[in-house]
Structure 1
Amino acid sequence: MLIALNQWLPIPLCPVNRGEGKEWPLIDNRYTFPQDYIAFITQYGSGQIANFITLFNPFSEDDYLNFFQQKEAILEGFDSLIQADPDYYTFHLYPKNNGLLPIGETDNGDTLFWVVSSHDSNLWTIAIIPSRASEVEFIAENLTGFLEGVLSKRIRCLSFPAGFPSEKMIFSPEV
């Protein structure tokens, strides 16, 4: 899927935070990162996809882009919402079975998640919780399949703007 994604999203000339020379950490000493995500970060590094989607990166030193910092902050925030109104917020969060593990966000405030459905992270699919909503949109794709799907317009996300993506798609490295 990464090769298909490369056709829609050119690889940046100077990617940053690719983890070169570093060992990939485990998620909570339990899970490896999915192979497609590792391949994506290795090629693209940190940055913004098509001026709209930002993925968190375990190698970023920016707290707002660092996977581990954002994982804790987002899970804590969503857990507070669930505790306050469990009838309205009915989804499960990581580390529960089929729990949602945050992986990125959009400029509109939507949150992208992996659905942790297996000990094999390569089987994880994608979910989106729109900004200020309780509905979860599940997409039966891995991360790079999802990205290729939205950029090629094969996948239409209910919470994404009708005009996304625009004709000119770039990856803007984190500065």
Structure 2
Amino acid sequence: MTAFDDLTRLIPPPSQPLWANGDWNTVETALAVELPSDFKQLIESYGAYYFSEFLTPLAPFGGRDLLVGPAKRMLDQERGFRDGNPEKCPYPFYPEPGGLLPWAGTDNGDRVCWLTEGQPDGWTVVCWNPRGWYYDTHPVSAVEFLVGWLSGDISTSVFPDAAEFAADTDDNEGERD
């Protein structure tokens, strides 16, 4: 049994996921990094799904540039703060080696990132609140984090538990417009 199997039991994928299909080679070339296989499976099955009406994976396909463009701009956006407050920034930012690379976002503006150290399928999840500058690290994959957060087995100090939000009950509730 895989984490992805656990996810599909918790929340069945939508019949027509939003922004789920595209060319991964183009995405990885644009980012200059290989992405974890579980994330690719997540996007291909769920697309830009709205988990617990709060957290959305950053699908790189479709109508909006949720992954590549924002990832490429992150270092520029955060560099000024980091330069003035290095003690509040314990991690480098993508595209720096081993930098944080967002793979999901929340309605509160929090980011769920990978710490891009080692092989992609072994990357650690880091939840980050860029307004309050605090981080919470979880040594699991993206899908493992999502399953743990949805089931209540993983909590983060960065944003509320999934149980605090309305549960997804059918294929349409989790799709974004």
TM-score between the two structures when normalised by the length of structure 2: 0.85
d(CA) in 1 for partners of 2:84, 2:29: 27
Which amino acid is 1:138 matched to? T
The equivalent position to 1:15 in structure 2, one of 5, 14, 17, is: 17
8 Å contact from structure 2 (residues 53, 166) kept in 1: no
Report what 1:57 is aligned to: 59
* Alpha-carbon displacement from aligned partner over 1:126-175 (angstroms, at most 9, x marks no partner): 10112422222111100000000000100011122256454623562232
d(CA) in 2 for partners of 1:76, 1:8: 37
Report what 2:140 is aligned to: 141
Q: Mean alpha-carbon deviation: is it higher for 108-117 or for 162-171?
A: 162-171
Task: Judging by fraction of residues, say which structure has more helix.
Answer: 2
Cα 1:91–1:33 change in 2 (3 A) is closer
The DSSP-based 3-state class of the residue aligned with 1:173 is coil
8 Å contact from structure 2 (residues 102, 112) kept in 1: yes
Report what 2:92 is aligned to: 92
Which amino acid is 1:140 matched to? P
Gaps of 5+ in 2: none
Which amino acid is 1:91 matched to? Y
Following superposition, the deviation at residue 17 of structure 1 comes to 1.5
1:8-157 paired onto structure 2 within 5 Å: 8-19=10-21, 22-25=23-26, 26-28=28-30, 30-63=32-65, 66-118=66-118, 120-157=119-156
TM-score between the two structures when normalised by the length of structure 1: 0.86
d(CA) in 1 for partners of 2:68, 2:166: 33
d(CA) in 1 for partners of 2:74, 2:163: 24
Cα 1:62–1:134 change in 2 (3 A) is same
Q: Relative CO higher for 1 or 2, CA cutoff 8 Å, sep ≥ 6?
A: 1
d(CA) in 2 for partners of 1:61, 1:83: 34
Cα 1:74–1:96 change in 2 (3 A) is closer
8 Å contact from structure 1 (residues 75, 102) kept in 2: no
d(CA) in 2 for partners of 1:19, 1:94: 24
Cα 1:162–1:116 change in 2 (3 A) is closer
Give the total of aligned pairs: 171
d(CA) in 1 for partners of 2:152, 2:144: 12
Which amino acid is 2:160 matched to? P
d(CA) in 2 for partners of 1:162, 1:38: 24
Cα 1:5–1:162 change in 2 (3 A) is closer
8 Å contact from structure 2 (residues 92, 100) kept in 1: yes
* Alpha-carbon displacement from aligned partner over 1:63-108 (angstroms, at most 9, x marks no partner): 4xx2111112333222221123223333211233432111121111
Gaps of 5+ in 1: none
